[in-house]
A and B are shown apart, each in its own frame.
Chain A
């Protein structure tokens, strides 16, 4: 027996060693190649040996799904091909956990050279000072194809342009066409929030396994509560002077609406959805849910084999202050201000955002591009998903100012999410929840 174990252990070790070699081999040869090339160039023109020819490694970090990962890696490879002295190390992951990783790295001084940053996070990140390069103070990244109002309203923090917007996002509803065709319900129209309630209740009553709306509890704040309050009041959630942009009555009305969504079966019960992010909910995958309030840039995540998707505009209030749609930049791509190779990082960023080849590789994996040049190029070559274009057109026709400041802070999000969860589980009343949220918000803001 001992011999057998010894043999097994030895084999595992040997295999491990070989596996180690294999995975390291390509990088080894790569660096060897570069070294050889360098040497050759030095031999040819020894005087022209400048710093630029040293191999430089840049780290590029982003979050996303598979389609985004694949396209971005392809773009990275292309750039490396064009710039043999630059080696780009992609660091990519899903959305969950990315924020925690990013802020810890930024605070610890180990962040990547180029990184994807979500605009709402700036309120938390920018406390750290000038961690990200202010693009107003450089001339490497060409911003002429970006709309100035968009940049100042949606991408700046305190006057600093801390990243290039990857795309436009305007809140919309993703609709599963086949769901409505099967039920014979007209979906392509302007819904009011109240209609969602009545139609949703009807649908669930007649088909107990079907629901009109797909919204995980954690999304309820962003996509239902915020949108509902904005349209009700015409205000941001938290105003610039740290006061609340809504009254207790507004909040009670909103929370009452949320609770009715659950009580009337418009939304699947919370205990069935709590374990899934919305696009992985089996009920959605099986085609038994009709609508999803979302950012259009996430469209690809909701596509499955049997789903035929469409995009329609956000529901409106019958007697609201505004019908405007919340817009934001899908995300920014920023350069680390403490990067050792800031200039090379900016050059890479410029290529990524403005180069024809890069635009055609990346297409709309980060939403409809914010640069007019990129938009035009992709439209001409028919590479944009028409649904995403539709969503952006809807938004641009009636845009709401961006969310900014404390509305985006993670503390505010938590305060609302906890209240919404209690409502979803029917453990509190809208009145109690509203009181508690206002109390906690004031506690936090002061």
Chain B
């Protein structure tokens, strides 16, 4: 009798998660498997797919004008935006732990950019802020600086785009906020009694205690950064001179402008392997710098 009831409840549970499972199977797993399949084909969107073996991969590594440049641009973008974003998120989270009236309102406001972040509208806003006679240069002019060619110069455009990502620090910040609140107060009190200064407390207590959250943020943000597309597409369209031609942009153009679906699938699998590799490295290295109160056993 008891067992039967349990089974029934299981059914209901499955029903509740069904939308996710179906969505996952149809929109994630199936395309995932198929893209692997297509990566060995020459797949013109109109003419259909034809198996060509490893040809796409060979061409990417030996005879693609954009591949290495795009990889390079994407790595630089990741190296700038991810650490800065995490540092910034941690800083703001630290500020937002202070106990003042209306702190929740501030937390919400600081989270807003992330809610809007991925959208086209914000990218367009960013474009208008940073164009030659945009707001940022007007402000710089007040203190007799600039104008700086934020988006038109091949040397600077990538950094400007990276700043947009840094500005969207909200989701990391929320995690840090939770982490900071979980650091036991008695540790701080003990350190203070022992005469440790604020900086020392931060590096010796706060950082180790929240290191698992730093790890999580590092992994998630790196994965996101490597797949970045919107900002470069909307603001600079990969230019000038391909200086913001992120890997995601290259992939998109191969797929939807030149209609080389097979080639684009191969590109996306290379990106996938890079992401897996990088994540593995971060995890591997984390045993040296993360601290778990319970010894780190999952």
| Chain A contacts to B: CB under 8 angstroms | 1, 99-100, 103-104, 106-107, 124-125, 127-129, 131, 269-272, 274-275, 282, 410-411, 414, 418, 421-422, 425, 427
Q: A262 CB to closest chain B CB, in angstroms?
A: 13
A422 to B151, CA, bound (A): 16
Determine the residue in chain B with the shortest Cβ distance to A131. Answer: B46
Interface residues of B in 176-214 (CB under 8 A from A): none
**By the criterion CB–CB under 8 Å, are B46 and A129 in contact?**
yes
A131 to B46 CA separation, bound complex (whole angstroms): 10
Kindly state whether residue B236 has any CB partner on chain A within 8 Å: yes
Interface of B is mostly: loop
What separation, in Å, do the CA atoms of A336 and B236 have in the docked complex?
Answer: 34
Chain A residue at minimal CB-CB distance from B128: A275
> When the two chains form the complex, which single residue of A107, A269, A425 contacts B45, counting CB atoms closer than 8 Å?
A107
Number of interface residues of B (CB under 8 A): 24
Count how many pairs of residues, one from A and one from B, have CB atoms less than 8 Å apart in the complex: 60
Given contacts A107-B46, A127-B44, A272-B152, contact A425 B240 (CB under 8 A): yes
Instruction: Say which residue of A125, A129, A272, A425 sits within 8 Å of B241 (CB atoms).
Output: A425
On chain B, the residues within 8 Å of A125 by CB distance are 46
By a CB distance below 8 angstroms, the chain A residues around B149 are 271
Are the C-beta atoms of A422 and B241 separated by less than 8 Å? yes
Q: Which chain B residues (153-178) contact chain A, with CB distance < 8 Å?
A: 153-154
Q: Mark B35-54, 1 if CB is under 8 A from A, else 0.
A: 00000000011110000000
CA distance A104 to B45 in the complex (A): 8
A410, B236: Cα distance in complex, Å: 19
Contact B132 A103 (CB under 8 A): no
Separation of A269 and B44 alpha carbons in the complex (Å): 38
Give chain B interface residues in 250-265, CB to chain A under 8 Å. Answer: 256-259
Given A125-B46, A128-B47, also A270-B133 (CB < 8 A): no
**Is B85 close to A, CB under 8 A?**
no
For window 62-86 of B, CB contacts with A under 8 Å fall at none
Tell me which of A1, A128, A274 has the highest count of chain B C-beta atoms within 10 A of its own C-beta: A274
B286 proximal to A (CB < 8 A):
no
From known contacts A100-B257, A271-B149, A410-B258, infer whether A421 and B240 are also in contact, taking CB-CB under 8 Å: yes
Q: Whole-angstrom distance between the alpha carbons of A330 and B295 in the complex?
A: 70
For B152, give its contact among A100, A128, A271, A422 (CB under 8 Å).
A271
B239 touches A421 (CB 8 A): yes
Name the residue in B46, B151, B256 with the highest tally of chain A Cβ atoms < 10 Å from its Cβ: B46
